[in-house]
Amino acid sequence: MPKKKIGKILAVDDNTDILFALKLLLKTEVELIDTLDDPNRLVSKLQEDEYDVILLDMNFTKDASSGQEGFYWLNKILEFDPAAIVIFITAYSDVNNAVKAIKDGASDFIIKPWQNEKLIATIMSGIKLRRSRIEINSLKQKQSSLNTIINQPFEDFLGVSPSMQKVFETIKKVAKTDASVLILGENGTGKELVARALHTESIRYNEIFVNVDLGAITETLFESELFGHIKGAFTDARNERIGRFELASGGTIFLDEIANISLPAQAKLLTVLERREIVRVGSNKPVPIDIRLISATNGNLPEMISSQAFREDLLYRLNTVEIHLPPLRERMDDIALLANHYLSKFAKKYNKRIRELSAPTIKHLQSYSWPGNVRELRHTIERAVILAESSVLQPSDFQLNYEKKAVDELELENYDLDHVEKTIIEKVLKKHGGNISLAAKELGLTRTSLYRRLEKHGL
């Protein structure tokens, strides 16, 4: 069985005989050996490809003895890639300079004329060192992300209503598999909590959970954020960066607001999910990934597919299993449980001696439609705890905005549904000064859905 070749090497020397000898010796040992006889092309070469080891001559024709050119190009290489492995090629008389170069960031040196076995051993050690540095850097980024996640507050996922019991049963059945899950539900219903529950109960529970809010990522940064980039890939790419998919490898990635991404972005995402590999921006090297995919949206994906705003083949990749989260108005049995849970939580947080919610208060909370769902209930209880002066919360401690969605304030000319829809959209657009994103959010629509309705009504 032939020996497996590993590593990509770049040799830089103005002596073409040296370069030829290196290429002849190393072609049977490494995957790739590139050569340069002009160091001025070094940085552009590094922008084109990534090397495990760079063999660099200490002296070039402009400066044949001091080694200063070698130091200059060492600094240029390390400026471009601080993790680069640079091994100097030097004559006996330059050994002192070579030792100094190691203090400046070089990894090792080889004396000319070299012994073939020692040269190969030095290069192989350099390749291993390079890969260890890359792995350590990746682990540091993963740990940083893990620390951020660990430090985030995590709320219990609660519910006694039949609809929530159904959700819990589905989570229990699906969590132990690696099936892709699509979570559907209005804003504030707890889609991220479902995703975290799926991860916690999965075989990947000891690995990383990466949450990606696709609604907050601009089109221009989509690839860089999700797939990463190499240094110099674009103007502000000053350092190499791994993307969210690579960061999540081994664990779970949660793509929230999946309906918000454009068709071109959908195509790129579909390719990654089909091939199970990413390519960093500026690179042509595929990187395999091993992820459990969970997605979520409050959008109407079948409607978006019908209007060609969402790819049907991508939906098939996302929804091996669908979990529908009911809005809070359809699970009134859970309001007392949730309200008491948040009361206990915030009374402790703000050091308030509040024991309970009165029976009339529970009825008061249950009579409200909760357009903001569990998130709105949480904020409402928190505000009441902060402002309350007694040990028992009463209905008067809550200011619920019943008028928020009152239709009779719209001054309707008639009750034709198309007219009602048009009037509501006009009112919300006016309220937000024509801002599509804010209007869509208040209406509970995606930007794409709102644009379709604007076109429909000629607005």
DSSP E strand boundaries for 243-331: 252-256, 277-279, 286-288, 292-297, 321-324
Report the distance separating Cα 390 and Cα 396, nearest Å.
11
Q: Is the pTM of this model over 0.75?
A: no
Question: What are the angstrom distances between the C-alpha of 439 and each of 341, 372, 429?
Answer: 32, 15, 6
- Cα radius of gyration (the chain): 30
Same CATH topology for 328-404 and 408-457: the answer is: no
For the domain bounded by 163-324, which CATH number is listed?
Answer: 3.40.50.300
Q: Is the bond into 326 cis (omega within 30 degrees of 0)? A: no
Write the CATH number of the domain with boundaries 408-457.
1.10.10
Q: Which one is the CATH code of 328-404: 1.10.8.60, 1.20.1640.10, 1.20.120.1200, 1.25.40.10?
A: 1.10.8.60
Q: What is the pLDDT of residue 360?
A: 92
pLDDT for 153: 43
Of the options 3.40.50.720, 3.20.20.100, 3.40.50.2300, 3.20.20.70, the CATH number for the domain spanning 8-132: 3.40.50.2300
CA-to-CA distance for 243 and 226, rounded, in angstroms?
A: 5
The pLDDT, as a whole number, for residue 403 is 45
The domain locations on the chain are: 8-132, 163-324, 328-404, 408-457
Q: Tell me the mean pLDDT per 10 residues along the chain, length 459.
A: 80 90 91 91 86 87 64 88 87 69 82 89 90 76 58 64 93 94 94 92 89 89 89 74 90 94 94 93 89 94 91 95 94 93 93 91 92 92 92 90 49 66 82 76 80 80
Query: What does the pLDDT read at residue 451?
Result: 79
